[in-house]
Amino acid sequence: MTDPWIAAFVALFLWWFSTGVILMAVKYADRHGTRAGLIATLASLPLLGVGIWGFVLTAQSASAGSVYHAFLSALAIWGWIEMAFLTGTVTGPNRHVLPQSVAPWERFIRAWGTIAYHEMLLAGTVITMGLYAWSAENPFGFWTFALLFVARISAKLNLFLGVPKINTEFLPSALSHLPSHFRHASMNWLFPISVTALTFAVACWLERMAASPSIADDIGFALLSAMTALALLEHWFMVLPLPDEKLWRWMLPAPKTERQNTTTEDAHGL
């Protein structure tokens, strides 16, 4: 487990497996109504507690094992918040479909209203984790969560501005109002900036890994490199005609009925 390549594989596997587990839980809850989503979110609170406990416990330990545990803790915290969002428990005050022909500024405000509580929870969490890990010996839990936060903001903005491919297969009914707030477009001005920044970030993490003085740092920067590369891949999934939904479709329960195809944010990945 001290090999950086193994660390990268671990990050890849955890990304795929944790995404599938969250989607599976959300889909099962979706089949049993809104109340089931709330129950699933509350039932998964121990996941959040374990994540917070692990993050605090590992912050002052610089061993390779602590880096893995910090990474897992950040994923646990992130996973619970994403489940709360996908089940409709923590979203925003606006749960209405966007009316036709609204002004761009109003479209942005309405779109923000659909995710406001979720985004404030994420922002508050990343700030709290950053303050706690400000001078910690093991900052990789914070960097993992911060990376996921920035990549998710970038993805949402690109979906709002418009991209060619928007996957709707995993959209739960609790978020059925989201499709109208996103758009299809051949390209937007933010996408080249996003993929360039993520590519640069991968290069920076790899450079830090090559120059790191310890095995623990090797592991940490390898994990960050892999997660950033996955975020970059997910951005490219928005413009390339690749069937990325097949990665998780086999894990999920079959839908009860066919639903009209709509466009919304990708529910998979980071």
Residue 268 in any domain: the answer is no
- 259 pLDDT band (50/70/90 cuts)? very low
Residue 45 in any domain: the answer is yes
Give the global pTM: 0.91
Alpha carbons 159 and 165: distance in angstroms, whole number: 9
pLDDT at 250: 67
Residue 148 in any domain: the answer is yes
Burial class (CB in 10 A: 0-12, 13-18, 19+), 46: exposed
Residue 36 in any domain: the answer is yes
- 167 pLDDT band (50/70/90 cuts)? confident
Percent of the chain that is helix, strand, coil (3-state, to 5): 65, 0, 30
pLDDT at 267: 36
What count of Cα atoms within 13 Å lies in the side-chain half-sphere of residue 63? 7
Contact 183, 108 (CB under 8 A): no
**CA–CA–CA angle 19, 44, 95 (5° rounding):** 75
Residue 16 in any domain: the answer is yes
Residue 63 in any domain: the answer is yes
Residue 26 in any domain: the answer is yes
The domain tally of the chain equals: 1
Instruction: Look up the domain containing 134 and give its range.
Output: 4-249
Least confident piece of the model among 57-66, 139-148, 254-263:
254-263
The share of the chain scoring above pLDDT 90, in percent, equals: 70
pLDDT at 254: 64
Whether pLDDT at 101 is above 90: no
Alpha carbons 245 and 19: distance in angstroms, whole number: 11
Residue 38 in any domain: the answer is yes
CA-CA distances (angstroms) from residue 62 to 6, 14, 138? 19, 22, 5
Whether pLDDT at 128 is above 80: yes
